[in-house]
A = this chain, B = another copy of it.
């Protein structure tokens, strides 16, 4: 929080819309005295929301009227072509126009990808934007994983670009020399598919600290700072982890509700259980970064509550303050330099 930052917020997106986004905005401004917000959405709705008075009183929030809303079920092409005045689109436009340093939306992923790309364009040298998210690991820090579903059919060059962008984001978040790894299968069986083998070759040529392969379980051990994979594999891996965590949580709850003694034990153990739940609270990891665009865009989970959405705002502020886009451009320039044949 060293420099002023302004974020454009799509206040209408997500499963809950204004009650969640405005509460999060208020909390965010309270904690970050150098931040200001552009609240994008239906002006009358925003002005009549309970949290608005306090936001207005802060004098660091300004409303930008957007008459349309991208619904969670809107197909990307429809949202892109027909809703030219959506809160999502206008939020990205604020970034494109230079009025905001970054944008945050909890709207539907497909539309968000299509519209952000259409409005902001990709950085020169990047073929496809990727979705990156931080996941907790045992070492107490977090691991950045990408791509998580933006690109389900990738080439080795795409994976190499993901590595470069992930490394830049990790550095922007404070890691000095991020360890970049490729997600792969166990050595015992076969050392990866064709795509991964070629990607490893390319990553070795990149201006980044490539440490080779990691396996699925290594991700949660903190074996790498950045884990690169194609969007299909990343999406399956992330959702599988969510599924396991939900199942284990449900089982634990069930066991603590089984009979009188268990309920008593739960009561006594409740401070410990609460500490555990807090530690693995996925809301703190809310806020996936769209990498490769000419602007900072953070996607909140659609079902996020105000606590989760605030974390997405914080993520965007941090990425913007640490010049994420410039860092990626610089890495790309460095790469071109490396690839250029030396003078005779």
Name A residues whose Cβ lies closer than 8 Å to a Cβ of B. 108-110, 113, 136-138, 149-150, 152-153, 183, 185-186, 188-190, 192-194, 196, 215-221, 229, 231-233, 235-248, 250-252, 255-256, 258, 261-262, 264-266, 268-269, 271-273, 275-276, 279-280
- By a CB distance below 8 angstroms, the chain B residues around A280 are 248, 251
Question: B136 contacts A247, CB within 8 Å?
Answer: yes
Residue pairs across A and B with Cβ atoms less than 8 A apart, 28 shown, are A109-B186, A109-B188, A138-B246, A150-B189, A152-B185, A152-B189, A153-B193, A153-B194, A185-B232, A185-B239, A215-B235, A216-B235, A216-B242, A216-B243, A217-B240, A236-B237, A241-B241, A244-B245, A248-B248, A251-B276, A255-B272, A255-B275, A255-B276, A258-B275, A261-B271, A265-B271, A266-B269, A266-B272
Question: A276 contacts B252, CB within 8 Å?
Answer: yes
Contact residue among B217, B246, B268 (Cβ-Cβ distance under 8 Å from A239): B217
- By a CB distance below 8 angstroms, the chain B residues around A239 are 185-186, 215-217
Bound-state CA distance A193–B152 (Å) is 5
Question: B110 contacts A190, CB within 8 Å?
Answer: yes
- By a CB distance below 8 angstroms, the chain B residues around A258 are 272, 275
**11 further contact pairs, Cβ within 8 A, besides A110-B190, A149-B185, A217-B242:** A138-B247, A152-B189, A153-B193, A215-B239, A216-B238, A217-B243, A220-B246, A258-B272, A261-B272, A264-B268, A266-B272
Bound-state CA distance A309–B243 (Å) is 27
Bound-state CA distance A202–B153 (Å) is 20
CB distance from A285 to the nearest CB of B (A): 13
- By a CB distance below 8 angstroms, the chain B residues around A190 are 110, 149, 152
- By a CB distance below 8 angstroms, the chain B residues around A279 are 251, 255
Bound-state CA distance A44–B192 (Å) is 40
Residue of B nearest to A270 (CB): B265
Contact residue among B246, B248, B269 (Cβ-Cβ distance under 8 Å from A217): B246
Most chain B beta-carbon contacts within 10 A, residue among A109, A136, A193, A271: A193
Question: B186 contacts A235, CB within 8 Å?
Answer: yes
- By a CB distance below 8 angstroms, the chain B residues around A247 are 136-138, 220-221
CB distance from A150 to the nearest CB of B (A): 7
Question: B244 contacts A220, CB within 8 Å?
Answer: yes
Residue of B nearest to A232 (CB): B193
CB distance from A174 to the nearest CB of B (A): 22
- By a CB distance below 8 angstroms, the chain B residues around A241 are 216, 240-241, 243-244
CB distance from A154 to the nearest CB of B (A): 9
Bound-state CA distance A232–B153 (Å) is 14
Question: B256 contacts A185, CB within 8 Å?
Answer: no
Bound-state CA distance A269–B251 (Å) is 15
- By a CB distance below 8 angstroms, the chain B residues around A113 are 189
CB distance from A190 to the nearest CB of B (A): 5
CB distance from A229 to the nearest CB of B (A): 7
Residue of B nearest to A229 (CB): B236
CB distance from A216 to the nearest CB of B (A): 3
Question: A240 contacts B262, CB within 8 Å?
Answer: no
Bound-state CA distance A262–B270 (Å) is 10
- By a CB distance below 8 angstroms, the chain B residues around A229 are 236
Bound-state CA distance A233–B188 (Å) is 16
